[in-house]
Amino acid sequence: MKMIQFNVPSPKDKSVYVQEDKLSDFYPYFHKHEEYQFMWIVKGEGTLFLADSFHPFRADDIFLLGPNQPHVFKRNADSLEHPEVESVSIFFNLKGSLSSLFNMPELGNILAFILQNTNGFKVPHAYTNRIKRRIGLLKKADMMDQLMSFFFLLKELSLVSHELKPLSVTTVLNKDDGFLRINDVCRYIKDNFRRSITLEEAADHANLTPQAFCRYFKKHTGLTFVSYLSELRIQEACKLITAQRYESIGLVAYNSGFNSITNFNRVFRSVTGFSPKEYYRRYKNNV
């Protein structure tokens, strides 16, 4: 899919922009924008394609998309008979007027939460009703009340940050953000995930003990080393499967860094929610 750069038509007098859509379909183009975006699916179901991963969605699912994450929401083919889809989006940009507010020490924890989730996340179902209520209050508010509702929304999510799983393991880290070491470690893992790389090896590369490395890595990526490594390997497997470069699932597993087909199938399902064959069939039906 060809990707386009999208400019969010946000009003000049607002730091947080709320957009409600009731349309015949979702925006159809694979695109990215520099704003963060909360997306509440009020009505509709399908698949969110994000960078080189995808995530099924249904009514009442809520996502946070990070800045410049390529994405598109595609309806399921069997749901096209329904007359419309409905969604509520909340856009905000840390480089805009909000930047001065987030420099306040009282908002330091909220800023850290946002920066740790540039890869986005899906709100766990256990919390969707609470977050829907927050979005509803934000949507109805205006001016300063809307801004206050926005901060309460972020605070509510930050309290369950340990349960939020990144939508993608593709990370763009800026040197100015103070992530030089973790950027180097992530690059090292990405360069070596196809072989049997160990926790001890990654920790040694970062000049940390394995215990200190585990804490450091989880803090800056939101994932454990094993989860990050597994998602990198499954991401590679998804590329190989959709590119139809291999006829054998065993070869896909081996070229993605797995030594066991059984383990590959188990990890693939835990990361994507599908078996490799189901993943390919769903991909072909939606693209």
pLDDT given at position 199:
93
Domain that holds residue 218: 174-287
The confidence score (pLDDT) of residue 246 equals 62
Angle between helices 210-221 and 225-243 (to 10 degrees): 60
Beta strands 53-57 and 46-50: pairing type? antiparallel
Task: For residues 7 and 146, state if they share a domain.
Answer: yes
pTM of the predicted model over 0.85: no
Q: Is 72 helix (H, G, I), strand (E, B) or coil?
A: strand
pLDDT digits (tens, 9 = 90+) for 41-97: 999 999 998 876 788 999 999 999 999 898 999 988 666 566 789 999 999 998 878
Is residue 273 a part of any domain in this protein? Answer: yes
Spell out a b/e string for 184-197, using b for 16 or more CB atoms within 10 Å of the CB, else e: ebbeebbebbeeeb
Beta strand spans in the chain (E): 3-5, 16-23, 30-32, 36-43, 46-50, 53-57, 62-65, 71-75, 85-92, 121-122
Tokens found for residue 230? 């597994």
pLDDT of residue 57: 94
In this structure, are 190 and 143 located in the same domain? Answer: no
What is the number of structural domains in the chain? 2
Last residue within a domain, chosen from 125, 142, 163? 163
Instruction: Answer yes or no: is 168 within a domain.
Output: no
* Whether 127 and 254 share a structural domain: no
Which pLDDT belongs to residue 80? Answer: 58
Q: In order along the chain (287 residues), what is the average pLDDT of each group of 10 residues?
A: 76 89 90 94 92 86 93 79 85 86 83 87 94 95 92 94 82 46 81 92 90 85 84 86 76 91 91 83 68
- CATH code of the domain containing 180: 1.10.10.60
